[in-house]
Amino acid sequence: MMRQAGRYLPEYRETRERAGSFLKLCLTPELAAEVTLQPIRRFNFDAAIIFADILLVPYALGQTLTFTEGEGPRLSPRIDRTELGRLRDAVDRSVTEPVFETIRRVRGALDPQIALLGFCGAPWTVATYMVAGCGTADQAAAKLLAYRDPMTFAQLIDRLVAASADYLVEQISAGAQAVQIFDTWSGVLSPEEFERWCIDPVARIIAEVRRRTPEAKILGFPRGAGTLLRRYAERVPVNAISLDWTVARDYARDIQSHRPVQGNLDPHALRAGGDALLRAVDATLDTFSGGPFIFNLGHGILSDTPIAHVEQMLARVRGH
């Protein structure tokens, strides 16, 4: 599942409490490894995904990062033309090293049959937080900067391309068998902006990661890309594409004919449970099980999802 670890698990809540803060949980390898392994122990998934946060990259580039309960993340100062010049040229290794150590620990503790995934945020999505200083409903601040001062915005994206490629290469070196690039906010752009700020930067990250680790397995998740998914599938040489739950069934099968697909159960169906969940699981299986496919949610699990519903979903998928 996307965000396998998290608040829907009591053992996660206990470890999160022990860590004191969300950021400390991400950056303390012993605890981050523990919460990465918890869902594997409980559900025996085929793959573990490292516990971390997409905003560790801006933190490692010099922005201050805080997570306040109920408020979401805060980055400061907000990036504009002036502040861009004050960012580091490359990531601060003292920030990212704990993530690599977490990967080494998890890889050491994990059954060799179970894959370990690393990840980063895509440059566009990470930039929306860096420019606004927080999460936003419509990503307006980054969109405005990109429209008004595309040179500055392109420099920010270039910085993120380089930092993200380094970060993924190091994750792979530490023991991640595959990495996923999450473009959570790719669905708010016009076709031309999507080409420039989503497709191009992710393609450049992949080229650099493959140059340095040619066998790298890379998944892309352009959430909400809608009718731009086909272009993404054609232009971005990922090994597999994650789809959200809104994609038309025929369109989704067409994407699968270009690239293996991961997805795409509606997290609200998992939250709801019952017959609706079974119907939604079956619809996903019917759509994709004729081709290369990784069953997954179409976005992160909701924090109030009952564990019994996860078990119900797994029984249905494993019984298929």
Q: Tell me the β-bridge partners of 72.
A: 68
Burial class of 46 by CB neighbour count within 10 A (0 to 12, 13 to 18, 19+) = exposed
Evaluate whether 296 touches 266 at the Cβ level (below 8 Å): no
Nearer of residues 107 and 196 to its own copies, judged by Cβ: 196
- CA-nearest of 162, 164, 167, 151 to 84 is 151
Q: What is the DSSP letter of 263?
A: E
**Cα Rg for the chain, rounded, in angstroms?**
19
Q: What is the largest CA-CA distance in the chain?
A: 56
Nearer of residues 67 and 251 to its own copies, judged by Cβ: 251
Length of the chain: 320
* CB 226 to its own copies: min, Å: 3
Examine the residue annotation and report whether 86 is marked as an active-site residue of this protein.
no
Examine the residue annotation and report whether 129 is marked as an active-site residue of this protein.
yes
Examine the residue annotation and report whether 7 is marked as an active-site residue of this protein.
yes
Nearer of residues 53 and 244 to its own copies, judged by Cβ: 244
Nearer of residues 42 and 316 to its own copies, judged by Cβ: 316
Please state at what angle helix 150-174 crosses helix 123-132, rounded to 10 degrees: 120
Kindly name the residue from 8, 12, 59, 129 that is annotated as catalytic.
Answer: 129
* CB 136 to its own copies: min, Å: 11
Helices (H), 175-306: 191-194, 200-212, 229-235, 249-258, 267-272, 274-288
Nearer of residues 94 and 308 to its own copies, judged by Cβ: 308
Phi, psi of 243 (to 5 degrees): -115, 140
Examine the residue annotation and report whether 53 is marked as an active-site residue of this protein.
yes
Kindly name the residue from 12, 16, 107, 204 that is annotated as catalytic.
Answer: 16
Nearer of residues 65 and 229 to its own copies, judged by Cβ: 229
Q: How many CB atoms lie within 10 A of CB 319?
A: 7
Could you give the CA distance from residue 236 to residue 202 in angstroms, rounded to a whole number? 7
* CB 76 to its own copies: min, Å: 23
* CB 241 to its own copies: min, Å: 13
* CB 190 to its own copies: min, Å: 5
* CB 116 to its own copies: min, Å: 30
- CA-nearest of 98, 2, 115, 117 to 56 is 98
Could you give the CA distance from residue 126 to residue 133 in angstroms, rounded to a whole number? 10
Could you give the CA distance from residue 217 to residue 233 in angstroms, rounded to a whole number? 15
List residues near its own copies by CB under 8 A: 137-138, 140, 143-144, 147-148, 150, 187-194, 224-231, 245-249, 251-252, 266, 268-269, 271-274, 276-277, 279-280, 283, 302
Catalytically active residues are 3, 7, 16, 53, 129
